Amino acid sequence: MTTAKDIMHPGAQWIPRHETLDRAAQLMRDLNVGALPVADENERLCGIITDRDIVIRCVAMGHDPAKVTCGEMTQGTPRWIDAGSDVQEVLTEMEGHQIRRLPVIENKKLVGMISEADLAKHLTDQQLKEFCANVYAS
């Protein structure tokens, strides 16, 4: 059985919810990623901030990314998957919530992220086709 841990990109890093969006953008640049899990003071997942969030929901709206925190930008219930979950559970979670990135948690700690690129490396063409149809459907 292939698990979430088998297909994830290891070494994902939190950004605290009190950090500003300009700091998030710098960290994304340094890590070469487009999204960061946002953590509360107890390192519990409270959301995900994406490069698109910073541009569309902050900069394009005339807000200063040096004054807006990651916590202010997160919305909804954060989704995640246990490291031991199988690939079908990963797909069900991502497709069911139409999300493109999924934090992987093991023993209450962030151990990685699964992105569309990770799925593309591990899914069959048919699985990938179904994933895209389900996530990008309007």
pTM score, whole prediction:
0.88
Query: CA-to-CA distance for 74 and 58, rounded, in angstroms?
Result: 12
Average pLDDT, the chain: 93
pLDDT (tens digit per residue) in 83-112 = 999 999 999 999 999 999 999 999 989 999
pLDDT at residue 75 is higher than 70: yes
Q: Coil, strand or helix: which one is 31?
A: helix
- Which two structure tokens, joined as six digits, stand for 27? 């960290």
pLDDT band at residue 16, thresholds of 50, 70 and 90?
very high
pLDDT at residue 137 is higher than 80: no
pLDDT at residue 138 is higher than 80: no
Facing residues of 114 across strands?
Answer: 102
Q: What percent of the chain has pLDDT over 70?
A: 99
